[in-house]
Chain A
Amino acid sequence: MAANTAPIYSIAGDVNSVAALNSGLVVGPTANTAQDGSGTLYKAFTAGANGSFVQKMRFRSVVSPAATVCRVFISSSSTTSATVTWLYDEITLPALSVSQTAASSVFELPMNFALPANYLLYVTFGTSTGSTGTGYSIVTIAGDY
């Protein structure tokens, strides 16, 4: 008999950001072309002690970043490496110009899966988006079980 025949729901919202987990950093100026989980990755989310349902990641430009690709990794350990860190998805981010009179484009990566307890999400960028402070604010919307 199946162990769980009833759907489960998250018990509390869990919203986190790359900035919150990396001392306020606007990510993008540092590029890491590796697709195997090696090199510097920026933590975006940590699942709760009972796992988390991750709904989406939302990418909002800061200043005027150049075009790039953002790669999202799932890791079973906070010590990232090619064996425990796996490329999950990519999203194309175009060049954008900041405006004070119109909203800039926003990009979302739908996820909608259960992330096991204490697993983590990381991001990297394929090319640099600009100098310090020019890049992306990335927010993960989830709920903890």
Chain B
Amino acid sequence: MITWWALVFTIPADKTGYQKMQNGMCIGVYYEDGTVISPDEKVEYTCVNTGAPAPSWA
């Protein structure tokens, strides 16, 4: 089952996003607009909601 976790970024600042989860595994991290974040990219974020509604672009 796919679930979406809402994220607040501190790097880069003032951005939000989503962590896409399946069976306890992260299968993607995205900015709010749906831009996927590469594992190479330096980001810092905190989960603020593990029961967020799926984004419109999902």
Q: Contact residues of A with B, CB < 8 Å? A: 29-34, 36, 38-40, 64, 66-68, 94-96, 127-131, 134
Q: What CA separation (Å) do A111 and B45 show in the bound complex?
A: 28
Which residues from chain A contact B48 at a C-beta distance below 8 Å?
131
Which residues from chain A contact B49 at a C-beta distance below 8 Å?
131
Q: What CA separation (Å) do A39 and B25 show in the bound complex?
A: 24
Of chain A, the residue at the smallest CB distance from B43 is A33
Partner of A95, one of B25, B41, B44, B47: B25
Which residues from chain B contact A94 at a C-beta distance below 8 Å?
24
Known contacts A39-B11, A40-B10; decide if A68 and B47 are in contact (CB<8 Å).
Answer: no
Q: Contact residues of B with A, CB < 8 Å? A: 5, 7, 10-11, 19, 21, 23-26, 29, 39, 41-50
Known contacts A33-B39, A67-B26, A95-B24; decide if A128 and B7 are in contact (CB<8 Å).
Answer: yes
The reply to whether A29 and B47 form a contact with Cβ atoms under 8 Å apart is: yes
Please list 18 pairs of residues, one from A and one from B, whose beta carbons are closer than 8 Å in the complex, sorted by A's number. Answer: A30-B45, A30-B46, A30-B47, A31-B46, A33-B42, A33-B44, A34-B11, A34-B42, A34-B44, A39-B44, A66-B25, A67-B24, A94-B24, A95-B25, A96-B24, A128-B47, A131-B47, A131-B48
In angstroms, how far is the closest chain A Cβ from the Cβ of B49? 7
Known contacts A40-B10, A128-B5, A128-B7; decide if A32 and B44 are in contact (CB<8 Å).
Answer: yes
Q: What CA separation (Å) do A88 and B29 show in the bound complex?
A: 25
Which residues from chain B contact A130 at a C-beta distance below 8 Å?
5, 47, 50
The reply to whether A66 and B46 form a contact with Cβ atoms under 8 Å apart is: no
In angstroms, how far is the closest chain B Cβ from the Cβ of A124? 9
Known contacts A66-B25, A95-B24; decide if A31 and B44 are in contact (CB<8 Å).
Answer: yes
